[in-house]
Amino acid sequence: MAEIPTKQGRINYSKKVWLARLKKKGLVGYIIFLFNKQRNNTADGSFAWVKEGHFINENPKPHGHGFSKQLREFVYLYGTKLGDFRFLAQFWWIIWLSLIAFGWHKHTKFVQILRLAVIGGFVYLLIFEGGRSRYLIQFLPMFLLLAVFCYQDSFRFFNRVYKWANKINKRTA
């Protein structure tokens, strides 16, 4: 692409490559590709933290004393508690996504705009970038706001399901 001098030439080349890939994979294959790409985009709650390269050039081993050392152990590549960070990040990511998914009854304008922004972010990543969770971090504020605005509806839904399950359980007991 960098060698093509004109914008129209790059557009034509992109269309040609996309059509060749579509012919090679077929429509079903391309849909499967997009599904897998979306799964990769949203799977990692740590947003690929320290998975690609070293973000600290000097001494990558955590050093220091007290709270700062504990924090470094938690987030540095060679920290002894990095696995704990990844677990907690994934745990909170699942909670946020659950709050968003089960808070579908909330229909204020702002919540609808946030939902549209999240869907737009997904579409953008499917078309232009994506394939890794690190690209999703640019849309993190919308996810957090949406989870905050939808949590009450989600809790109401979970409460109804819990009461329904208890009612069923009492009938069978």
Q: pLDDT per residue over 1-32, tens digit each?
A: 778 889 898 889 989 988 898 889 888 998 89
Token pair listed for 120:
């737009």
Q: Between 117 and 74, whose confidence is greater?
A: 117
Token pair listed for 76:
């540095």
Q: How far is 80 from 72, CA to CA, in rounded Å? A: 9
Residue 54 has pLDDT above 60, yes or no: no
At residue 37's C-alpha, the angle toward residues 14 and 140, to 5°, is 105
Instruction: Compute the mean pLDDT over every residue in the chain, rounded to the nearest whole number.
Output: 86
150, 100 contact by CB (below 8 A): yes
Q: How far is 94 from 112, CA to CA, in rounded Å? A: 21
Residue 62 has pLDDT above 90, yes or no: no
Q: How far is CA 62 from CA 33, 47, 51, 167, in A?
A: 39, 21, 17, 53
* The pLDDT of residue 91: 94
Of the candidates 65, 56, 41, 60, the one whose C-alpha atom is nearest the C-alpha of residue 131 is 41
**How confident is residue 153, by pLDDT bands cut at 50, 70 and 90?**
very high
Of the candidates 52, 49, 42, the one whose C-alpha atom is nearest the C-alpha of residue 85 is 49
CB neighbour list of residue 144: distance below 8 Å, 6 or more residues apart = 96
93, 45 contact by CB (below 8 A): yes
Per the confidence metrics, is the pTM higher than 0.75?
A: no
At residue 119's C-alpha, the angle toward residues 118 and 121, to 5°, is 65
* The pLDDT of residue 55: 55
CB neighbour list of residue 118: distance below 8 Å, 6 or more residues apart = 100, 139, 142, 143, 146
* The pLDDT of residue 172: 83
* Lowest-confidence region among 34-38, 61-65, 135-139: 61-65
**Predicted confidence (pLDDT) per residue in 155-169, tens digit:** 999 999 999 999 988
* The pLDDT of residue 53: 57
